[in-house]
Amino acid sequence: MSTAAIIPAAGLGLRLGGETPKAFREVGGDALLVHAVRGLKAASAADLVCLVVAVPPGTEETVTKELTPYVGDTRLLVVAGGAERSDSVRTALELVPVEGIDCILVHDAARAFVPVDAIERVVAAVRAGAKAVVPAVAVTDTIKQVGPTGEVVATPDRSTLVAVQTPQGFAPDVLRRAHAAGVVGATDDAMLCEALGVTVLTVEGSPDAFKVTRPQDLLLAEALLAERRL
C-alpha cells in the first residue's frame, strides 16, 4: 500500500507580510512549497504515489510547472484552494484516489523543513493501525486560557500540553468522514477527527517542523537550511 499527501498552500500568509503568498516565499533560493515537497519525497518509507496541492486560485498552472521537477513518479495534482484551510484540504481530498492508498498525509507548506524521520513516524503509526496521528512537541511557554477581555481564566498543567505539527496522518476513510462532517473553524485535520470521536495518537515531532508564520521565522529557516547544507 502507498501514501497520498495533501499540501494546503493556498493561504496568503498575512502575518508574514510581503506581497507573495507564504508558500511561495523563498528560503535558500527555493519556495517553501518546494522545500515541503522535497521533504515528503525524501521520506521513502512513505511511498508517496499521489500529491495534491491546494494553491491560490489562478496559480495552478505555474505551480504545476514549478513542482514537476521535484515529484519524480509521484502523481501531481494542483487545485485552487478555498477560503479557509479546511476548505482547501477538503477540495484536495476529493482528488485523492481511493484505491491502493492506506495513509493520507496532510502537510502545511509552511512547515517546509520537517525532517524525514518525523514524517516516517507518522506513516508508520497509521500503518500500525492508528486512525489519526499527529507529530507533537512539548510546549516551552506556560499557556493561559483567557476570557473576552484578556483576563486569565485558567492555567492548564503544562506537562499535559503539546504543540502539534504536520504532516498529520490518517486512515483514508476516517479523513473523508471527518471532512464530510464539516465542523466549522477547525485549525487542523486532527480536530475534525476528534469531533467524530476518533482517537488521535501523538508521535514525536521535531523542532525543525516549526511553521513559518512571522518574519523572524524566515531568518530561522535560512539558518536551519544553511546548517543542513554544511
* Cell output for 107: 502537510
2-8 vs 101-106, strand pairing mode: parallel
Please identify which residue in 6, 11, 27, 34 interacts with ligand C5P, judged by CB under 6 A.
11
Closest to 22 measured CA to CA, from 189, 188, 212: 212
Q: Which part of the chain contacts ligand C5P (CB under 6 A), choosing from 103-111, 126-134, 178-186, 196-204? A: 103-111
- The interface mask with ligand C5P, positions 16-55, x = CB under 6 A, is ------xx------------------------------x-
Does 88 sit near ligand C5P (CB under 6 A)? yes
Given candidates 67, 110, 218, 221, which one binds ligand C5P under the rule CB under 6 A? 110
Query: Cell numbers at residue 28, please?
Result: 535558500
Residues 159-218 that bind ligand C5P (CB under 6 A): 211, 213
Q: Which stretch binds ligand C5P (CB under 6 A): 38-46, 82-90, 169-177, 214-222?
A: 82-90
CB-based contacts of 193, cutoff 8 Å, min separation 6: 131, 132, 170, 174, 175, 178, 200
Choose which of 1, 29, 73, 83 interacts with ligand C5P (CB under 6 A). 83
**Closer of 167 and 172 to ligand C5P (Cβ):** 167
Q: Which of 57, 75, 71 is nearest to 21 (CA)?
A: 57
Pairing of strands 152-154, 145-146: antiparallel
The residue among 44 and 213 lying less far from ligand C5P, judged by its C-beta, is 213
Instruction: Give the shortest CB-120-to-ligand C5P separation in angstroms.
Output: 21
- Alpha-carbon distance of 80 to 173, in angstroms, equals 23
